[in-house]
Amino acid sequence: MIFKRVKSLNGELNIPGDKSVSHRSIMMGAIAEGITEVYGFLNGADCISSMNCFRQMGVDIEYDETIVTIHGNGLHGLKKPTGTLDVGNSGTTTRLMSGILAAQPFTSRIIGDASICKRPMKRIMTPLHQMGADITSERGNDCAPLIIKGQPLKGIHYDSPVASAQVKSCILFAGLYADGITSVTEPYLSRNHTELMFQSFGVPISTEGTTVTITPAQKLVGQKIMVPGDISSAAYFIVAGLITPDSCITIKNVGINPTRDGILEVVEKMGGNISYSNVSKDGEPTCDITVQTSELTGCVIEGEIIPKLIDEIPIIAVLACFAKGTTIIKDAAELKVKESNRIDEMVNNLSAMGADITATEDGMIINGGRTLHGAVINSKLDHRIAMSFAIAGLNADGETEIIGADNVETSYPAFYSDLNKLMR
């Protein structure tokens, strides 16, 4: 797909549902009693992978494009999967579902695409082994394919070396089935959608600082879930509105959970013209966000804000190329183990477009202000690389060609048509 400089971007958008919340709604609905109705479910390949895996375990899930209806099997009602569970490109499905599978009275096998088969699973295998789980990597490289032989589990306390909601949530799902209490402490607080949703399904769970504690539940009660718009998807339009000349974009119903809103803080710190309206604080908080073309200044992004914007760093790197001065991103080594090595992909590809950007051990340094020019970008099975370079390409001289552009299917199938709507 080819992108060329655009004069301006204007209009209003509804972005698709939050990926993290959508995954969790399937998993909790599947093991709850009664019916769970999900409104605003993300119809992206990753969440459909979660849906199909639980269907393979005997859960009846209807999807009519506007509402997902899950007929829960109850905590102990999942069936041995009808075959290998294919998670596609989805790390969230792999890691969260493993916590559930570790406690089931059957054996399951998880496979995924080439990107998934390179992503580290030791981070969940270590705590699950401590709980008594039997989970192995088929190729002995601590990556998928994974074989999980369900076992009785015991509660543990786990000090996680990484601030990862996938690791935390895996342990919490396993803890739901364990004998005794389970707690997880993380270096910094990661997204807390699992905790909030468990609470609404009636599971005893509490948070103190960066420690979450779960008490095994007797049952989960089916719920009605309103999925907010995904701030990680909104991020592309937030940045597009700020860096494209003569632009004003309003993005409606964006989830602004405080464990996810780091990009807003960064935009404010860089001097971006951003405003909020229609704030709603029921359940997962949401609001409408309006951005306008802005004069931006670089800043330092480090420490506890990193987990709150980890998925937005690729597009923040693009933003930093359009800011005056230097932006330094630190403490973000986790970027190396996402769908692609996002430090290398952003640094190499933005350099190819003429940016002044250098990789560091745990992030990158960007000296903004250079005019970008087109290049050929390979998205490397990473939806966020494709979307970031689409926005960069609209603000670069010449042609930017993205190879593998269609992998936006992972989290935002309508990305290009939504972008087109703003060009009119």
Residues that bind ligand S3P (CB under 6 A): 20, 23, 92, 164-167, 169, 191, 310-311, 334
Of 113, 261, 311, 382, the active-site residue reads 311
Q: Which is nearer to ligand S3P, 108 or 384 (CB)?
A: 384
Q: Which is nearer to ligand S3P, 50 or 400 (CB)?
A: 50
Residue whose tokens read 């949530």: 169
Report, in Å, the least distance between residue 217 CB and ligand S3P: 20
The span from the CA of 66 to the CA of 95, in Å, is 27
Q: Which is nearer to ligand S3P, 16 or 393 (CB)?
A: 16
Q: Which is nearer to ligand S3P, 20 or 247 (CB)?
A: 20
Report, in Å, the least distance between residue 202 CB and ligand S3P: 21
Q: Which is nearer to ligand S3P, 3 or 193 (CB)?
A: 193
Report, in Å, the least distance between residue 70 CB and ligand S3P: 18
Report, in Å, the least distance between residue 216 CB and ligand S3P: 21
Report, in Å, the least distance between residue 2 CB and ligand S3P: 28
| 311 is annotated as an active-site residue | yes
Q: Which residues are catalytic?
A: 311
